[in-house]
Amino acid sequence: MNKFVAAGLLSAILLSGCGNSDSVVPGPLQSRTNVLRVVDPTPDLTVNGHPVTFGRLSGFDQQGNLVFGPDEELYGPEMVFSGLPDTTRRVEVEFQRGQGFTLARHLEEVDFPADDDGVITLDQVNPQFLSATPEMLTVRVENLSNYDPSKIFVTVLGKDKADSAFYYLQLGANGNNTMQRFGDRSGSDNYSFPLSATVKEEAPGAYSFQCPYDKLVSGRIYLSFGEKLQGLGLADTANPLSLVTPSPTGAPDYQKVFEFMELSATIQDTPGAQYILFANTSVVDFFSVGLGMTLDYHEGGANKSERVGFVENARALVLQAFDSSTVPAEFKSYINSPGSDRIIRVLSPVQTVAVNSTGPTASFLNAAIDAGWTHYSQQVLNLPDTLSTHYGYQYTGQLVNANNLTMTTTATPPGDSASLNEVSSLPKPSTRIVFFCDDDQPPANTPVNSTWQNLGTHGHKRLCSLLSSAINRGVFENYNDWDKPEKFYTRPDGRYNHYSKIMHQFALDQKVYGFGYDDVYGQDPTLSEPIATVNQVVLEIPAFSI
C-alpha cells in the first residue's frame, strides 16, 4: 500500500457548506446506502512542505457527469463518504492543503451494483501530485438570494502583467478555464457565464470555478442578476486596453441589478518575485446588494480566514438610512427599476456629479472647502509624522496665498528620492475634485504638482490623498483628527460625504471603500496575501429582494 493520507470524519462534523451527499437522490432500484472508504494507517502526506488538511470526493457516471459531491471531510487516517448512487462509475479523490487548494488527485473506477455490500474501500491510492502553487485560483460563490443560479451571471476580467490587454474568463471542459482577450461589445454574450454552468456545485447554492491568475491585474468579478451585462467590451478593437465596463447610470445596463468586487493578482518585475492577491469590496460608484467576500489562506501550518463585506440585511438597512431626514437630499440619488419605484441601486456622489456636473451635489462640499482654505490662510498646515502614519512622508506647509495651498515634501520613505523636496502648489479644489479623488479637468499645460491629479510622484499623490480624505470625512481643519475614525463624519454643519458615512455604518468592522482614497488611515477592507498561500476566495450573495 502506498504511504498516503486518507481523510476525515463523518458528515456530522463536516465544515459548514462542504458536504453535499444529501443532495444525491438514489435511483428507483437503489435500496441501500453506498459507502466509499479511503484508508491509510499512517497519515503523513505533505507536498513541498504543505500538509494535507482536507479530503474531497467527486463521483461521475459512465458519461462523465457529476453525480456525487464534491464532498469534503477533514484529513485523517480514514475517510468515509456515504450516499454515492449506483450510477457512480469513477471517483476522484482530491487531497487539499485547504478548501479550494488541491495538492494531489487520485482517479479510480468503481462499480457499486457489482459489490456485495455496497462498501468499497480504496487502500491502494496512487495519487498524482500537483504543483504546490497551482496557476489557478479557486473562486467559490455562495448564493443565498432567491435568484436561480441559471439567472446569476459571472464575469471575471483583468489585465496581463505586461499591461498590454484586458482578458475575460472563459469556462472550458472539465474545469480547464482560460483567459481570453476581449472583443467589442457585440461579443458581450461571451464575456459572462451563468453560475449554474460552473463544473462543481459543492453544496446547495455553493459553486466553485478555477481562474488563471496570471491575467488578473486590476481584476474584477461582476455578478449580474436576471440578465447578462451588455456594456462590456473594447471601445476600439485596435486598442486592447480600451475596455468599457458597465455603467450604473446609463444604457444598456443601468436598470439591471449588478455588483462587482475587486480581485487583483500582481507581481513585481524582479527575480524571484511572487504573485500577491489583493481583494476587496468596493462601493465607490454605487451600492446595490451588499456582497461579502472571504479569503481562505494558509499560514504557519494552519488554515485561516478573513471576511469583509456588509452586515446581514445590509440592503434594507442602507436604504432605510438614506431615507432618514438627517441625510441631505443631495445624497438620495437612486436608480429605479422600470415601471416601479423599487430602488435598484444608490449612486455615490462620484456618479451623481459625473451625471450632473452643475447639480446641487457638485457644490455640496464648497462651504467646508472654503472654511478650510480660510483656516489655513491663518494657520500653517504641516504634516509631520505625529499621527498613526503618513506612510513615510512628511510635508512642510505655507499659509494659503493667492488661493494656493503650498506644501514641500521634506521626508520620504526609502527609495523615493523623486518626491524629496518637491513643491506642490494646490489650488482650492472643487467639490467634484474631492468626491472624484482626482482632477479629471485640469487647466491645460499645468504641471501635475500644481493640480489635484492622481499622477506625478508618489509624494504628490500621497499629499492629495491625505487632504482629499480629510475633506470627505469632515475633519480637514482638525489635523489631529485625520486618523481618528470616531471623529469622521461628525462635522456640525454636515458638510461631508454622507454616502461614505452610511457605507461604513453597515460594513463589517466599518471597513469599506466608500470613496477612492478610503484606504488612507486603513478604512478600506482590502485583503492581501501571497497567492501561493491562498486556498480560495469566497463571494457571498446575501438574501435580498428588489
Per domain, the residue ranges of the chain are: 11-129, 140-356+525-541, 366-496
Distance between CA 385 and CA 393 in Å, rounded?
A: 7
Q: What is the pLDDT of residues 93-132, one digit of tens each?
A: 988 888 888 888 889 999 999 998 989 998 887 777 877 6
11-129 and 140-356+525-541 in the same fold? no
Give Cα 106 to chain centroid, integer Å: 32
Give the confidence band of 340 by pLDDT, cuts at 50, 70, 90: confident
- What is the C-alpha to C-alpha distance for residues 452 and 428, in angstroms, rounded to an integer? 9
The helix (H) or strand (E) run that includes residue 83 is: strand 78-84
Residues recorded for the chain = 546
3-state secondary structure 88-139: CCEEEEEEEEECCEEEEEEEEECCCCCCCCCEEEECCCCCEECCCCCCEEEE
User: All 3 cell numbers of residue 520?
Assistant: 488612507
Task: For residue 386, name the pLDDT band (cuts at 50, 70, 90).
Answer: confident
Query: Model confidence over 224-239: pLDDT tens digits?
Result: 999 999 999 999 999 9
Residue 382 confidence (pLDDT) above 60: yes
| Average pLDDT, integer, range 475-483 | 96
Backbone angle region of 218, left / alpha / beta, with phi > 0 → left and psi within -120 to 50 → alpha: left
Greatest alpha-carbon pair distance for the chain in Å reads: 93
pLDDT, average across residues 4-32: 40
Mean pLDDT of the chain: 89
Q: Do the bridges between strand 54-60 and strand 152-159 make them parallel or antiparallel, or are there none, so unpaired?
A: unpaired
Convert 411-422 into a string of H (helix), E (strand) and C (coil): ECCCCCCCCCCC
pLDDT of residue 7: 35
CATH class for the region spanning 11-129? mainly beta
Give the global pTM. 0.85
| pLDDT at res. 51 | 80
Best CA proximity match to 283, nearest among 189, 346, 333: 346
For 306, 458, 462, 466, the CA distances from 420, given in Å and listed in that order, are 37, 10, 13, 17
Examine the pLDDT at 352 and tell me if it is beyond 80.
yes
What is the CATH superfamily name and number for domain 140-356+525-541? Thaumatin (2.60.110.10)
Nearest Cα to Cα of residue 44 among 99, 1, 4: 4
3-state secondary structure 419-440: CCCCEEEEECCCHHHHHHCCCC
Q: Which of 16-25, 39-48, 264-273, 377-386 is predicted most confidently?
A: 377-386
The Cα–Cα gap between 265 and 537 comes to 12
CA dist 16 and 320 (Å) reads 31
